[in-house]
Chains A and B, each alone.
Chain A
Amino acid sequence: MKDIIKTLTEISSPSGREDTIAEKIVEILDGNFDEYWRDKLGNLIVLKKGKTGKKVLLDAHMDEIGVVVTNIDENGFLRIEAVGGVNPYTLVGSRVRFQNNVVGVIGIEGESFRSSRENMKNLSFDVLFVDIGAKNKEDALKKVKIGSFGTYDASFHDLGDKLVSKAMDDRIGCAVMVQLLKELEEPLNDVYCVFAVQEEIGLVGATVAGYDIEPDVVIAIDVTAHGDTPKALKRIPMKLGDGPALKVMDAYSISDRKVLEFLEELAKKENIPYQIEILPFGGTDAAAYQRLKAGVPSATVSIVTRYVHTPSEMVDYNDVLNTVKLLKSFVNSEFLF
């Protein structure tokens, strides 16, 4: 499964520009589904039919955070703005890659030592620029346009149990669903896997993806924060390697109690390690599904991730495998939601 994670994380597909990742997912799935389609906003929906007629919707978002070109000056330098939660500090000294694979280096303005220090102290996108090695504006325009989207330029590394890459958020969720679809023979319930668009800028895809499906239950699979590095957030218990995290609550949603308890019982029964997650900030697509039409019981299963929204997001491979196991068991369970 590591090869799937590598392939999916290395693709550059920020919010609103998900065609590349969607095509790659369909290719890797290699026919392991009954049907697939892209809805009006571009969500990729993959269906594997079951026997009961109950509909389980699993969701992972396929977009990632990134940048967009907003200006190109006479000397060929680009100005960018964030697509989703990109911290400008993570850009300094690093590189971005545009969707056509043009790579640019991030530079920072500073006309004196004092202004350089000041710019660094109160860093904003206003003082950053991108150098794509262009001679001038005309030359730059051959490579990018205003409105070109890009992402961090970073590659996948296998550190053994730990895996590092950009865009683990949320390609790791996508990888879990891809692996699940490959492993499922004939599930008990209908399984709709939604690879959602535009999560990072406001749960856009997930707000509409369930409209025509009308699922009985939804599980969002996404990354969550960690508490196991030096002086990490001290009120957060989550650790890499302790298993899938069952989310009780974050800033956008409270997981449906029955679904949460069902997942917990299931993990105990199947001897799958798990941990309980409470996140005082952030949110997942579950928040959107929960309020769909007359409401859908929804919960989130998280993969604990270090350094979220940086070019080097780290997960534990065993957590990933155990998440696949737990969800596989879930879609094959009888339940009354």
Chain B
Amino acid sequence: MFLSELSTIAGVSGNESKVRDFIKKTIENKVDELYEDKMGNLIALKKSKTQSSKGRFAFFAHMDEVGFMVTRINEDGKLSIHPVGGVDARLLPGKRLKIGEKGTPGVVGLKAIHLQDNLDNVPSYQSLKVDIGVNKKSEAEKLVSVGDYAIFDVPFEEYSKHLIGKAFDDRGGCSLMMDLIFEDLKLPFDVYFAFVVQEEIGLRGSGVAAEEIKPDIAIVLETTTAGDNPELEEYKWATHIGDGPAITFMHRGYVVNKKVYEWIVDTAEKKGIKYQLKRRTAGGTDALSVSKRLFGIPAGVVSIPCRYIHSPSSVMYKDDYFDTLNLLKALLEEGEVILS
């Protein structure tokens, strides 16, 4: 598992190079081919030794995470920011950020509770300002520039079986692909691993990677919302932590190809691997963009359930991660069935 390393790297959509470099360096001796495309997607190939099944199989996971961009440096040295991808503005007041390549520390300002007369006010990006400890525009300009990316400054932590950190969406998927690359699996067919860019701002990288790889079948690996909050009735939960990998039958804009969906479910059943179905259809994944490329690429979606995604404190249950990995290994061993 590479989540502890991957989680803390800064890689907001459009600026994935550090994530890409880490993955590249780690897997380069374990794959048969490795290249970066024009858009920044990193594509790895593990060749089958037996070639007992023709066809190409591809996994997709996105390297980018949600974050922020500095849009303006104000006269008082405070920074205005805009979200890159979906981040709830209510999360920000009082949080620490790391800004730009140098990781300049900043704090999102707020009015102390002593001075608040109405605690129902909801913050918006228009009103939020980041404090980097200077009082003049000219001083701020020495530390940051307009266009700099920012991320939440939080560590990766582990307690009992829970993992906590930022960017699990979708470094969890990236870590799964890296683990699969490191496993010594008897692949019946060639397997491509696409670490893609710019998912969070509109599934922009995956389609390009699909066009290059031309897979016959694809599986998108995601970290998906749990939504199993205590204030919600159980029938409103999307997934539940601890119940194993989540298999998607439909999401925004795409009903998962029936053959691929049933193959994933049947494999989990047959191998006795714990799994759950994703029980909300909102939100989309790269399966939407991959399936619509070329002559049509049947794409499935398998996700690690995760609480509080797109926040500084995503929570993942370790067993879910390894159950997901086991399901993927089983799929590779059984893949012949669906590719033939």
Chain A 33-57: CB-based contact to B (< 8 A → 1; otherwise 0):
0000001111100000000000000
Q: Which of B236, B250, B295 contacts A40 (CB 8 A)?
A: B295
CA gap between A202 and B296 in the complex, in Å: 14
Whether A40 contacts B279 in the complex (CB less than 8 A), given A16-B255, A204-B291, comes out as: no
Give the CA-CA distance A82 to B281 in the complex, in Å: 9
B255/A41 in contact, CB under 8 A: no
Residues of A within 8 A of B235 (CB): 70-71, 73, 79
Residue of A81, A202, A204, A212 touching B295 (CB-CB under 8 A): A212
| Residue contact A70 to B279, C-beta cutoff 8 Å | yes
Any chain A CB within 8 A of the CB of B18?
Answer: no
Please state if A198 and B277 are interface contacts (CB–CB under 8 Å): no
Which residue of the partner chain, among B255, B279, B292, B298, contacts A15 with CB atoms under 8 Å? Answer: B255
Asked if A267 is an interface residue, CB under 8 A from chain B, the answer is: no
Checking A39, A68, A83, A201 against B296 with a beta-carbon cut-off of 8 angstroms, the contacting residue is: A39
> By the criterion CB–CB under 8 Å, are A42 and B281 in contact?
no
Q: Binary interface profile of A, 76-115, with partner B (CB < 8 Å = 1, else 0)?
A: 0001011100000000000000000000000000000000
Asked if A284 is an interface residue, CB under 8 A from chain B, the answer is: no
Q: Interface residues of B toward A: which range?
A: 20 to 34
Q: Digit string of B268-295 for contact with A (CB within 8 Å is 1, else 0)?
A: 0000000001011100000010011111
Question: Nearest Cβ in chain A — how far from B203, in angstroms?
Answer: 12
> Please, which residue of chain B has its CB at the minimum distance from the CB of A63?
B255
Q: For chain B, what secondary structure do more than half of its interface residues adopt (helix, strand, loop), or is it mixed?
A: loop
Known: A83-B250, A201-B253. A208 touches B258 (CB 8 A): no
Contact yes or no, A126 B236, CB < 8 A: yes
**A17: interface (CB < 8 Å):** yes
Q: A71, B279: Cβ atoms under 8 Å?
A: yes
Considering the chains assembled together, what is the distance between the CA atoms of A212 and B254 in angstroms? Answer: 21
Minimum C-beta distance from B247 to chain A (A): 9
Q: How many residues of A contact B (CB 8 A)?
A: 30
Structural contact, A68 and B249, CB atoms closer than 8 A: yes
Distance (whole angstroms) from the CB of B277 to the closest CB of chain A: 5
Q: Which residues of A contact B292 (CB under 8 A)?
A: 204, 207-208
Check if B277 sits within 8 Å of A147, measured CB to CB.
yes
For residue B145, CB closer than 8 A to chain A, the reply is: no
The chain A residue sitting closest to B281, CB to CB, is A81
Assess whether A83 is in contact with B294, with CB atoms less than 8 Å apart: no
CB-based contact A147/B249 at 8 Å: yes
Is the beta-carbon distance between A39 and B255 smaller than 8 angstroms?
no
Nearest CB to that of B259 among chain A residues? A42
Is B256 an interface residue when CB atoms closer than 8 A count as contact?
yes
Q: Whose C-beta in chain A lies nearest to the C-beta of B247?
A: A147
Find out whether the CB atom of A17 lies under 8 angstroms from the CB atom of B280: no
What residues of chain A lie closer than 8 Å to B249, measured between beta carbons?
68, 146-147
Residues of B contacting A262 with CB < 8 Å? none
A42 to B299, CA, bound (A): 13
Binary B-proximity of A246-288 (CB < 8 A = 1, otherwise 0): 0000000000000000000000000000000000000000000
- Is B325 interfacial (CB 8 A cutoff)? no
Interface residue from B258, B281, B298 paired with A19 (Cβ < 8 Å): B258
A204-B291, A204-B292, A211-B296 known; A41+B257 contact, CB < 8 A:
yes
The yes or no answer to B315 lying at the interface (CB within 8 A) is no
Candidate in B253, B255, B294 with the most chain A CB atoms within 10 angstroms: B255
Interface flag for B297 (CB, 8 Å) = yes
Assess whether B277 is in contact with A204, with CB atoms less than 8 Å apart. Answer: no
Cβ–Cβ contact B296 & A41, under 8 A: yes
Among A16, A73, A207, the most chain B Cβ lie within 10 Å of the Cβ of A16
Contact B250 A16 (CB under 8 A): yes
Q: How far is the CA of A81 from the CA of B250 in the complex (A)?
A: 10
Once the chains are docked, how many angstroms separate the CA of A40 from the CA of B258? 11
Can you list 17 A-B pairs with a CB-CB distance of less than 8 A? A15-B255, A16-B258, A17-B255, A39-B295, A40-B295, A70-B235, A70-B279, A70-B281, A71-B279, A83-B250, A146-B249, A198-B255, A201-B252, A201-B255, A204-B253, A207-B292, A211-B294
Top 9 nearest A-B pairs (CB, nearest first) are: A16-B255, A208-B296, A41-B296, A202-B253, A147-B249, A71-B235, A40-B296, A207-B292, A211-B295
